[in-house]
Chain A
Amino acid sequence: MAKRTLTIALMDAPYESANLTTAFRILDVAARRGHDINVFAYEGAAALAFARQAAHPNPVHGKNLAEENHPTTKDQVAALLAEAARNGGKVDWVNCGMCVDERGVGEFVDGTRRGSPADFQAFVDASDNTLVIPTK
């Protein structure tokens, strides 16, 4: 399959919805196939790449920090960017600026950036396909 440019809009906040699990699985497949990927992280999703997320142990399961290996979305974002690069693709991950400000999550992992609805409009117009994954 020829290289494609795909845009995905995300809205859910980290650690609250199965939607993000599915979203990262879709993004992972697209990255492994070497596609260029645009992500517009809107509303709660603007915190997905927040660099100050911290993993935690799990006292209920009796696991310390290392044993629990708690998944953080910031690590998944970074892994997605790396996977795309390994396969000749690139990820333009835009965090909605207003959403970032109201949540105080303005420190992003490297390779992601602040943006606006105009970026999403440009993504849609320049992409081969767009998928919106809304929140409820």
Chain B
Amino acid sequence: MDTQNRSRIGMGNMYYVVIALLIVFILLSAVYSVSIGQVHIPFRQSMDILLHTITNGKFGSLDNVQSESFLNIILQIRMPRVVFALLIGIGLSLCGTVMQAVVQNPLADPYILGISSGASLGATFAILVGFGSSALLAQFGVAFGAFVGAMLTSVAVLVLSSIGGKATSVKLVLSGVVIGALCSSFSSLIIFFANNAEGIKTVTFWSMGSLASSSWDKAPIMVIVVLLGAILFLFQHRILNTMLLGDESAITLGINLSAYRKFYMIATALVTGTMVAYAGMIGFVGLIIPHIARGIFGADHKRLMLGTLLLGGLFMIWADVLSRILIENVELPIGIITSVIGSPLFIYMIVKKGYNFGG
């Protein structure tokens, strides 16, 4: 136990090496990810195409690229997907880490405060009831519904937990559970009365999470929201660290957690809401990646934050790769993959003695 902790936390300069390695792995994985699929494009050619595009033709030549269509496949179809996977991995692990600190509970994930149920209700409403015949809303219907649902539940949880004094972590979790249950029952009610088998199937698919609808025109919002969130929280390590100590100790260190909790909740809700709107519910990433990252980098958020983001991004790129290659010509919903990989990993961590979830 003792030696394990030493090696775990006393990482020293290894930290920078690990971070650099993670970045290299992410880049290589991204190239690999765009080279596989129904049309196989050799790794070398994928690399050339990407280098050529990114450096505007200075590096990488298109001479050995076999087919003109490869360019389109990679740049228009597969690349946005990889970018989305990376961003969602970053976003989920970011929000998971922050949420675990906010509610001081190692079991928290980005969806814990009712966001998942709220987003589901919004999406279910959009799919089965609809926002009327307005063409614009119909197009963005599901994403819009999920986002609004996520934001409304977050606000409701925040208001409920603030009633009668400070929003403590326990009150936050309980409010999340209650509001979540309420939203789920409304979703069930809508499904129960829906006379629309196709729609119900759509709802089910949506709830499994998917990156299939990734495209460049949806990318800007995603990029901005996730990167802003990441930059914000990378610089909040002092406050996140005092959150680990609890309200009482934080006050004596000059930080009133109650206000920061609300601020962090709104920020994570925005990021999570955006991700849910575009890709549905992708479970387990926001729960286990922060724990794995803590196992590697320690619980000090100064180092943990960047590590967890990169690890989350890498994990999602590979989850996406698996979702495409596991069964030939079938694309599995990515939420299934993350849960199938995530649960055994989590069990392994519970069984393994070295990491005790801090408890």
A and B associate in one complex: no
